[in-house]
Amino acid sequence: MSEPGAAGPGPGPAAIQVSRIMRPDDANIAGNVHGGTILKMIEEAGAIISTRHCNSQAGEPCVAALARVERTDFLSPMCIGEVANVSAEITYTSRHSVEVQVNVMSENILTGAKKVTNKATLWYVPLSLKNVNKVVEVPPIQYARKEQEDEGKKRYEEQKLDRLETKQRNGDVIFPVINPDRQTKEPHTVGYSQSSLIHLVGPSDCTLLGFVHGGVTMKLMDEVAGIVAARHCKTNIVTASVDAINFHEKIKKGSVITISGRMTFTSNKSMEIEVFVDADPFVDESRGRYRAVSAFFTYVSLSKEGKPLPVPQLLTETEDEKRRFEEGKGRYLQTKAKRQAQMQQAAQH
C-alpha cells in the first residue's frame, strides 16, 4: 500500500509512506523478517517518490533507476505479524540524480508499540522511457536553508567518488559454487560457506523499462549472504547492516544473473560477507558476462531467545583470503570508531 504522507521537515516534495504487514514467507524459521524483504520495501518507496518527482514537470517521461544505496544499519529485528511502515523523502537533487532518505518503523498492531528499524539513503537516476540509455534532467527542489543544499552537494560528491573506487575493485571474481562437496572442506573456512544462486530475470522482476528492480536484486543478495552466514555458524542469523550497494550496470529482462557470496571477515559477534551480482545477457549475444552489483553484508548470530552469540572465527587459507580478512577488519574498526563517536556526540547533546 502506498499513500502520500504529510510533508516532512526536509526540503523535498511531500513524503510518501508504504506499509505492509509481515507474513511468514517474509521471515526466517525463527520469525525474524529477512533483511532483503526490508531492503526491497525501502527501494520500492524510493522508486515511487523519485519517479513521481522526475515526472512532476512537463518533459520526457522517465523512470527512476536505483544507482546506489548508502550503508544502512538494521537497528532492531522485525517479526511476523508486525507492520513495516516505510517513509521516503527527497532531500537533494543534482542535475541528473535524486537523493532519497528512507526511514523504516515496525509497528505492533496489537499493542501499538513502534520502533525504528532502519534508516537508509538511496540515489536514483531518471532514465527516459523512449531511450533507456538517456538520462533526463531532474527538476530541482526548494531548500528551506542554503546549508541543506550545501550538505546535500557534499554527500553527492562523496558517493560519486566512492562509486568510482568501488568500480576499480570490481575485477575480483567469485567462481559460482552451486553444489560444492563441503565434506572436503574444513568448517569455518571461506570455501566451506561460500554460496551462489542463479536466477533467470523475468517480467515480474523488472521495471517499465525492462530492467531489474534494485529491490529485487538486493533481496536476492541478502538471501545468498544469509546462506553464507548460516553455513558458517549454523545458528539463527539476522542482517545487522549493509555497506554501500553500488549498481554499476543495468540488468536486462531475460538475463541470467549469478549472485555469489563469500565470508571475508569475522569479529567476535559479527560476520562480513562480500556479495557480487554478475549478469549473462543471453538476449543480447553481442555482450559477454559483466559485473552488475557489489556490496558487503554484515550478519550477527542469535540464540533462540534472540541474544547475540559468539561467531566462530573465520579460517583463512590463501593469501587473498588473508588480505580480504585484513581489509574487512579495517572496515569493521572504522565503522566501530564512527559509531562510538556518534554515541559520544549524542551523549554530549
Q: Which amino acid is at 344?
A: Q
Q: Which amino acid is at 301?
A: S
- Nearest CA-CA partner of 316 in 268, 261, 260, 264: 264
Give the integer Cα–Cα distance in Å for 224 and 218.
10
Cell numbers at 199, concatenated:
536466477
Choose the catalytic residue: 26, 205, 222, 278. Answer: 222
Q: Which residues pair with 147 in a beta bridge?
A: none
DSSP SS3 for 46 = helix
Give the integer Cα–Cα distance in Å for 74 and 34.
11
Secondary structure percentages of the chain, helix, strand, coil, to 5:
30, 35, 35
Cell numbers at 206, concatenated:
523488472
Is residue 236 annotated as part of the catalytic site, yes or no? Answer: no
Give the integer Cα–Cα distance in Å for 44 and 207.
11
Is residue 28 annotated as part of the catalytic site, yes or no? Answer: yes
Q: What angle do CA 12, 16, 20 make, to 5 degrees?
A: 155
- Nearest CA-CA partner of 28 in 276, 313, 299: 299
The catalytic residue positions are 28, 222
